[in-house]
Chain A
Amino acid sequence: MQLVKGLFKIPAFLLGLFLFAATLALAFLGPLVFHVDVSTRVGDPYMAPSAAHWLGTDHLGVDMLSMLVMGLRASLYVGFLAGVVATIVGTLIGVYGGYKGGLLDDILTVLTNLFLVIPTLIVLILLSSSMDKGRSLTLIALIIGGTTWTWSARAVRAQSSSLRARDHVALARINGFSTLEIVLEQILPYLLSYIFMVFILQTATAILTEATISMLGLGPYDSISLGKILNDAKTNEALIGGKWWAFMPAMVLVTVIAFSLYVINTAMEGVFNPRLRK
């Protein structure tokens, strides 16, 4: 608790938290302030920002601010879902492997290392390019989560195998606690802050990854996303035409989300990792 209190005294952490909260507010409270509609063309293509349309229109004449809010929601959804999947899978495999060891651990380690070396983006490109109608936002999130867990598995495994050697774990073992009890009571509590940091990083990575594959033309077919807005702006020559409102806000949002999450993570690392604490 002392540590968490200390966290709220770090300016960088507060900045990150504030920025992230601001994007959340735009995504979920924005529609209460202004009208969000992404299915009607409200004007000509690429109309400049005006009082009626604060961020102008896109290449089809749809209100850009509405597109942005819906795209932001989609990107946050992808980040959250992929982050949850990657963290849960990674933690399960990591904790099991690190604490239990044995043959299954060896197999899992080989598997993890195998997919750590083969670039995630490649697997994503190959999988996504084989989907056409089926490439939904949820599927993209699941694919991202299903390919990025390797990294968290390795990180968590290293942590839990070092915990394994601690006295309190040995004591619990001698006293006949079951493996599940030991993992839940003696291992996981020590890993919680670490797992949370892993989750934050996985979320940030997932949001950036979604933007990347959408810009490669492999975005979701059933939804707007920040990456898809950027892809549309690039393919419909908004960038070359200098229509800043078509790409700048989406770009700023992606950057702000990723930046705020990184800053939160770095600040937490400084507090929870005693070796970095001065």
Chain B
Amino acid sequence: MLRKNPTLRHILGRAAWYFVTFLVAVTVNFFLPRLGDANPIDAILAKTNAGDSAGAREKEEAYLRQFGLAEVDAQGKVIRTADGKPVRTGLGKQFVSYLGLTLQGDLGTSFLQFPKPVSEIIKDALPWTLCLQLPTIIFGWLVGNLLGALAAYKRGVFDRIIYPLALLVSAVPAFCVGILMVYYFGIKLEWFPAVGGYDAGTTPALSSDFLSSAAYYYVMPFLSIFMIVVGGQSIGMRSMVIYELGTDYVKYAKLLGIKENKILLYTFRNAMLPQLTGLALALGAMVGGALITEIIFSYPGLGMAILTAIQGNDYPVITGCTLLITVCVLVANFSVDILVGLLDPRIRAAQAAESN
């Protein structure tokens, strides 16, 4: 069956490749934080060694069991050496249990906000990040492509204004746009709230009070990411259209006397393909894409969650977030591979040729 269906074979092949990549990512996620001189085990043990009272002991037991850091006996009690130190579990054994839990979707428990599960912390932060990024990327992508196509086709004045502007915006680091906006529109002019995601007086709920304050806080982070997306996309689209306009098939179509509008349609369609790929990749990078922007605006999304976790050596939260970001990127790349295979006749043909 696979021999007859090159598309299916291609999809399965890519799926297998991305699964291997996922396993590598999980491995990297586990071992990298444990390489250096400040690894999570020491962080957690330092935390529990703070006191010698019965309460601290109990807490230490709970930690060690929870994170699978120490050997436990049949009754589930932590095995200790003669001087009371817990017997540590080997790194390999820890990794196996980590791998098992991760594949089940269990990301562990936060050190800082013990016993809150990491998945809960992510669940609180993720909607903010998604609501900030999803509309921004899609809207920015549309506007950017329109401007880019316009600049490439019209050239002249358009190109001389749009292109350098886009170049400037995309060369300016994302956090600079954010800092400038916070400073001028938040602090100096007080047009918009400088930092945060909603009014301190409201609590996240589906009330009009909360939604209107959230919308007010939304404007600046939205604009700062939007500008960058528009800049990047329009540059890409511009060079794609310029390239397509110079190809032989366009010259040939012109010689044949095909109407200009029709030729433009052809070129735009061809120029769109890489741009579509770009959109899918941007959506995949969305979750981790604006960590710094969120931090600058103290926006309560994933960026702030990671920052808090890093400041408090909260390794389960750090690795939980990084794994989530990686998985999103992998899924996006996988979708792009499949999508491009389906949309691009050249790649379709190559797949078919491979199977013969």
Contacts and interface: CB of A to CB of B under 8 A. Distances in A.
Interface of A: 114, 117-119, 121-123, 125-127, 129-135, 208, 211-212, 215-218, 230, 234, 239-240, 242, 244, 247-248, 251, 254-255, 258-259, 262-263, 266, 275
A211 B296 CA distance: 13
A118 B310 contact: no
Interface in B14-51: 18, 21, 24-25, 28-29, 32-39
Contacts of A208: 173
B173 A125 contact: no
A126 B32 contact: yes
Interface in B313-327: 313, 315, 318-319, 322, 325-326
Contact of A114 (B21, B175, B285, B307): B21
A212 B243 CA distance: 34
Contacts of B36: 127, 130-132, 134-135
B28 A123 contact: yes
A37 B183 CA distance: 28
Contact of A217 (B175, B311, B326, B329): B311
Contacts of A248: 179, 183
Nearest to B319: A126
A114 B33 contact: no
Interface string B195-208: 10000000000000
Contact of A242 (B33, B187, B319, B329): B187
B237 interface: no
B276 interface: no
A117 B330 contact: yes
Contacts of A242: 183, 187-188
B295 interface: yes
Interface of B: 18, 21, 24-25, 28-29, 32-39, 167-168, 171-173, 175-176, 179-180, 182-183, 187-188, 194-195, 243, 285, 288, 291-292, 295-296, 306-307, 310-311, 313, 315, 318-319, 322, 325-326, 329-330, 333
Contacts of A114: 21, 24
A131 to B, nearest CB: 4
B176 A254 contact: yes
Contacts of B179: 230, 239, 247-248, 251
Contact of A122 (B175, B180, B292, B326): B326
B288 A119 contact: yes
A54 B47 CA distance: 44
14 contacts: A117-B21, A119-B288, A122-B288, A122-B322, A129-B38, A129-B315, A131-B38, A132-B36, A133-B37, A212-B291, A217-B310, A248-B183, A258-B172, A275-B243
A126 B295 contact: no
Contact of B29 (A126, A132, A133, A247): A126
Given A215-B175, A258-B173, A130 B38 contact: yes
A216 B194 contact: no
B25 A118 contact: yes
Contacts of A266: 167
**What are the 3 A-B residue pairs with the smallest beta carbon separation, nearest first?**
A130-B36, A132-B38, A126-B32
Given A130-B32, A215-B292, A262-B171, A122 B183 contact: no
A129 B295 contact: no
A247 B187 CA distance: 14
Given A254-B173, A255-B173, 9 more contacts: A114-B21, A118-B25, A119-B326, A125-B306, A126-B322, A129-B313, A130-B39, A251-B179, A258-B173
Nearest to B38: A132
Contacts of B38: 129-133
Given A127-B32, A240-B187, A259 B37 contact: no
Contacts of B188: 242
A123 B27 CA distance: 11
Contacts of B37: 130-134
B300 to A, nearest CB: 16
Contacts of A133: 37-38
